[in-house]
Structure 1
Amino acid sequence: MNKTGIVYGINGPVIYLKGNTGFKMSEMVYVGEQNLVGEVIGLTRDTTTIQVYEETSGLKPGATVTATNDAISVLLGPGILNNIFDGIERPLSEIAKKSGRYITRGVNVDSLDTSKLWDVNMKVHEGDEVFGGTVIATTQETKMIEHKSMVPPNTHGIVTWVAEDGKYTIQDPIVKIKMENGTKRDLTLCQKWPIRVARPTLERYPASEPLITGQRILDTMFPIAKGGTAAIPGGFGTGKTMTQHQVAKWSNADIIIYIGCGERGNEMTQVLEEFSELVDPKTGNPLMDRTALIANTSNMPVAAREASIYTGLTLAEYYRDMGYDVAIMADSTSRWAEALRELSGRLEEMPAEEGFPAYLASRLSAFYERAGMMRCLNGQEGSVSIIGAVSPQGGDFSEPVTMNTKRFVRCFWGLDKSLAYARHFPAIHWLTSYSEYINDLAPWYKDHVNKNFVDMRNQLMAILNNESSLMEIVKLIGGDVLPDDQKLTLEIARVIRLGFLQQNAFHKDDTSVPLIKQYKMMETILYLYKKSKTLVTMGMPMSVLKEDDIFDKVISIKFDVPNDKLEMFDDYRNAIDEFYDNVLKKNG
């Protein structure tokens, strides 16, 4: 029989029960007549504290709370992809069927479709010894993704019965095993896992391979590794969501989990509509075929917002265990931190900086720590990469969420509102951003692109840093007094900013650029710099060099050279040589 308790006090989404209820920490409970979903977050000898994941208005003291003897968990199985869930894995389409346009409280729907028949191919035989992670069956979940149903972690036994290949629902027994202790257990296509517990793995690998996004400022200047962590902080309108969209669409991750955490409802609606229309450039199939969306808007209860991050993480870890590379887009972790702050305030905990709870840093750390390239229990290699948007109030990067996030991510893509207002996109500022993965990934770039790739990237960064120093002088006394070699640095920095760092998401060739073209673009810009520097060293003034349109011609490479016609870079090299010879002839 389930344990019960009686509501004694209510404070927003936090409710209190008097007496020793026998509930367990992190246990899922049902509150009141409408069976609102809640979770035990505090226990003393006299009081049980519960956070409720739904609106509590109308709830009264005296209402009954029923325990479930289970932690807040998600159902993992075929049907997760091409679906939109709320913060605790309830499909919004099913909720809409039951409650109409507005989500009613206490709506009880299955996380995954329990009536759909899946075409199942069995992968084990009678007498096989199976462990946690062993693949027992496969189904084609979408056109692109083969779903591998696995033995749940911490399970070990001998197969005593296997179903025939055929069509089954996610709840039909397909394998029976005899456990070590002699008990028998039925295995189905699905399993449950608590969201706050990381799924176990055998080994964590160091960063060694980049998550290629097709965005030059990310892939070349500030790369993220597969299994890496990145933060995108930026004020309102600087392009956090659009940057995540580009990464979701063009990155070489197999699966995308997009968590809309506490964003405005109209913005989330736009995301949902756009994602459902996007076509995957690799296959021509809908992008949703390899995407799961978690929608938890700012008008939904804050407790569910706090849980949505962990729900998305658990779904990602499940697909990682199948051997896939998964990328999580968390938009935005600031809203998640605000939910923590509100709940902490309701619990009357001692506030730390700007009212955030003292455990903000440890929660952020635990979140980002679940990323990584892993060897899973079944020997497969998979990764979870986390790209978290941060929305600092007023664009202030010194506020607690941004500063604490910086401690736990190795890649920082700082968005700048002055770049965004100048229509320079992606508005990632090269002076405030950094990536600690460059040295880890250098061997990969050397083997797969070119041995000079990282060296050229460093040369571009040096020119941009020089430009920043020179601009301080220009602001004080004007650019005319600079010597010609410094004027050349400013001109080449302009070519880098406009021709390399700026990218047009609506241009068919510029929206996503292969690494080899990124390298060729760097090579061309640096070749122009080398030839121009030789001329300046000979005493040629910059005014003479700028008479030719070669600098603007190199800027337009990004549009004029198609991604599949890289031999055209030879024409630009010849044009630079011609420019060099012409200047010498005219002024020699």
Structure 2
Amino acid sequence: MKDGKIIEVSGPLIKASGMDEAAVRDICLVGDLNLTGEIIEMHGDTAFIQVYEETSGLKPGQVVKTTGEPLSVELGPGMLTRMFDGIQRPLQDFMTQTDSWFLQRGVRVDALDRSAKWEFEPKMSVGDEVTAGDIVGTVQEGPVVEHRIMVPVGVSGRLASIESGEFTIEDTVYQVETENGVKDFTMMQKWPVRQGRPVQEKYAPNRIMSTGQRVIDTFFPITKGGAAAVPGPFGAGKTVVQHQIAKYADADIVVYVGCGERGNEMTDVINEFPELVDPKTGESIMERTVLIANTSNMPVAAREASVYTGITIAEYFRDMGYSVAIMADSTSRWAEALREMSGRLEEMPGDEGYPAYLGSRIAEYYERAGIVQTLGHDDRTGSVTAIGAVSPPGGDTSEPVTQNTLRVVKVFWGLDSSLSQQRHFPAINWLDSYSLYQNDVTKHLSEERGVDWSGMVRQAMGILSEESSLQEIVRLVGVDALSESDRLTLVVARMLREDYLQQNAFDDVDTTTSDEKQTKMLSVILHFSEKARKAMDVGAYYDEILKGTKEVREKISRMKYIHEDDIAEFDTILSDIDEQIGATIQKGGQE
């Protein structure tokens, strides 16, 4: 193809002429160092290219070569446990090849290891009819994940040959006889990141994705295939919430995208994840994790590509039939990259300088989440659950990124700086947050757990809402102005806040809570409320109830630290509530 020439350099944006044979979204090699760039706009034979590497030293007149291919990722065995940058360059291999801790410009490193050999086990036989999405064989990628080798999109025919044994990702492992002849296929395929992978059918999400975080699973649940936003000011705990979900969510695969945040947050992931043992498999959580790192000290333009790289990898594992959770931390930094490129293109700005198409770009990303029936003859279902942190300046959720995100997602976990200052974590404000999946999810959970979970959740939220109203009175005239019933409400609400919703991410027991333990914990607090109110109805005083239940209230305050293996202790606490409140009523009657 005909080469172009640089005519202007403006930070990560390059203007090149003589590009009449190129097209929008083509990848280009820019300048003498062959820097990686992508055409984002064309005017005649003039191309505007966003470069994913540092552009200092580029000068007008240097050559621009177009590859004719879109920005794509390599998909195949060898992605798990690894860290890539925003355009899928493996950072460990990059460091080894360049012998440097810093990104060297113009260096080409294969995303997947070409020399590693994988044991391929066929799942179909010669002569079988195959179509896009069919699983022709499997590779055991580490001790946890079975990597399923699928027929690429657009391919159908009869299986002409298939072999078992050890192969690299470039070796031919099967052949398909198509209408255009016999074609060879390897264990690797490529896919353009800005195009969603096709599916047979998309379903409405209605099954909870358990996260182990009580405030989320109880009040603001997210479904498998759902989308959630975590807005909050600096220091409110957005990253910790995402880390906790990545560690303990009920997902088969985790894709964590560090997009524009500080490098030390990705360092925490690298340090913590390998040491954490997945309770389901007994292996390190890293064995089912893919990391995409494009932190604040890495090229700005590559932030824009990093979320697409992450979601494409997530869709690939979804097509295997897995439940995938993708974390983007944070979409605000991604939007800032869009704003910078839009400004350099001299486009008409929208709110606060963001491009007018910000809302559609955010929607395009979150719409790729969902629970689907995948391509292929078998009835496989897979899901991608998207959770994006938003970092609004000063915690102002009226800014454009937050508002455009909330128009798309159905779960809002609003982080509150006042809660974080009180050291209440997760600092999710239970009065501001919401989940549009809650009704469907709690209905299913009520059936599965054999309790009125919907009623329990409504009752608990009612108590917390009532506490908020009572606190206004307390601030004005003091707690003594409240009735005894209202003072009891404050006690129960404090139990819900401190003994149920507050959770210690650094405690081995409290860091995650199973569905069964959550049900037991909430039932204990609501049982205490019910029994205490019945005691009041028959004449017991507030002070008598508090004095008579001192011991059991201490047990309730420590129940979050009860180990999952000792779940029977909750039945003991329920018995103690009945006994101590019964004794209080009896004592009051004798007096």
State the TM-score, normalizing by the size of structure 1: 0.97
Superposed displacement of residue 19, structure 1:
4.2
What is the CA–CA distance in structure 2 between the aligned matches of 1:269 and 1:172, rounded to whole Å?
35
Q: State the AA in 1 paired with 2:130.
A: V
| Counterpart mapping for 1:165-314 below 5 A | 165-180=164-179, 182-314=180-312
What is the CA–CA distance in structure 1 between the aligned matches of 2:127 and 2:586, rounded to whole Å?
85
Structure 1 position 585 matched with structure 2 position 586: yes
Q: Deviations over 1:556-581 (max 9, x none)?
A: 2212x321222222211221112222
Cross-structure match for 2:475: 475
Structure 1 position 412 matched with structure 2 position 406: no
Q: State the AA in 1 paired with 2:441.
A: L
Superposed displacement of residue 539, structure 1:
4.0
| Counterpart mapping for 1:5-404 below 5 A | 5-99=4-98, 100-163=100-163, 165-180=164-179, 182-378=180-376, 379-404=379-404
Deviates more, 1:578-587 or 1:101-110: 578-587
Secondary structure in 2 aligned to 1:385?
Answer: strand
What is the CA–CA distance in structure 1 between the aligned matches of 2:116 and 2:568, rounded to whole Å?
51
Secondary structure in 1 aligned to 2:244?
Answer: helix
Deviates more, 1:221-230 or 1:233-242: 233-242
Superposed displacement of residue 78, structure 1:
0.1
Superposed displacement of residue 446, structure 1:
2.2
Deviates more, 1:16-25 or 1:285-294: 16-25
| Counterpart mapping for 1:484-499 below 5 A | 484-499=484-499
Q: State the AA in 2 paired with 1:555.
A: S
Structure 1 341/249 Cα, relative in aligned 2: closer, same or farther at 3 Å? same
| Counterpart mapping for 1:447-466 below 5 A | 447-466=447-466
Q: Does the 8 Å CA contact 2:222/2:411 hold for their aligned counterparts? A: yes
Deviates more, 1:288-297 or 1:520-529: 520-529
What is the CA–CA distance in structure 1 between the aligned matches of 2:414 and 2:95, rounded to whole Å?
38
What is the CA–CA distance in structure 1 between the aligned matches of 2:470 and 2:402, rounded to whole Å?
29
Q: Does the 8 Å CA contact 2:138/2:148 hold for their aligned counterparts? A: yes
Q: State the AA in 2 paired with 1:235.
A: P
Q: Does the 8 Å CA contact 1:137/1:189 hold for their aligned counterparts? A: no
Structure 1 443/535 Cα, relative in aligned 2: closer, same or farther at 3 Å? closer
Q: Which runs of 5+ in 2 are unaligned?
A: none
Superposed displacement of residue 109, structure 1:
0.5
What is the CA–CA distance in structure 2 between the aligned matches of 1:79 and 1:395, rounded to whole Å?
39
Structure 1 478/9 Cα, relative in aligned 2: closer, same or farther at 3 Å? same
What is the CA–CA distance in structure 1 between the aligned matches of 2:484 and 2:476, rounded to whole Å?
18
* Identity across the alignment (%): 51
Q: Deviations over 1:5-32 (max 9, x none)?
A: 1111111111112245210111111111
Q: Deviations over 1:117-173 (max 9, x none)?
A: 11111223222221111112211011000101111112122222223x111000001
Cross-structure match for 2:568: 567
What is the CA–CA distance in structure 1 between the aligned matches of 2:147 and 2:424, rounded to whole Å?
41
Q: Does the 8 Å CA contact 1:224/1:435 hold for their aligned counterparts? A: yes
Cross-structure match for 1:438: 438
Secondary structure in 2 aligned to 1:546?
Answer: helix
What is the CA–CA distance in structure 1 between the aligned matches of 2:341 and 2:397, rounded to whole Å?
24
Q: State the AA in 1 paired with 2:559.
A: I
Q: State the AA in 2 paired with 1:301.
A: P
What is the CA–CA distance in structure 2 between the aligned matches of 1:569 and 1:271, rounded to whole Å?
34
Secondary structure in 2 aligned to 1:113?
Answer: coil
What is the CA–CA distance in structure 1 between the aligned matches of 2:288 and 2:472, rounded to whole Å?
48
Q: State the AA in 1 paired with 2:307.
A: I
Q: Which runs of 5+ in 1 are unaligned?
A: none
Structure 1 20/86 Cα, relative in aligned 2: closer, same or farther at 3 Å? closer
Secondary structure in 2 aligned to 1:480?
Answer: helix
Q: Does the 8 Å CA contact 2:3/2:19 hold for their aligned counterparts? A: no
What is the CA–CA distance in structure 2 between the aligned matches of 1:9 and 1:416, rounded to whole Å?
45
Superposed displacement of residue 297, structure 1:
0.9
Superposed displacement of residue 66, structure 1:
0.8
What is the root-mean-square deviation in Å for CA atoms of aligned residues? 1.3
Q: Does the 8 Å CA contact 1:414/1:433 hold for their aligned counterparts? A: yes
Deviates more, 1:462-471 or 1:549-558: 549-558
Secondary structure in 2 aligned to 1:408?
Answer: coil
Cross-structure match for 1:518: 518
Cross-structure match for 1:504: 504
Superposed displacement of residue 535, structure 1:
2.2
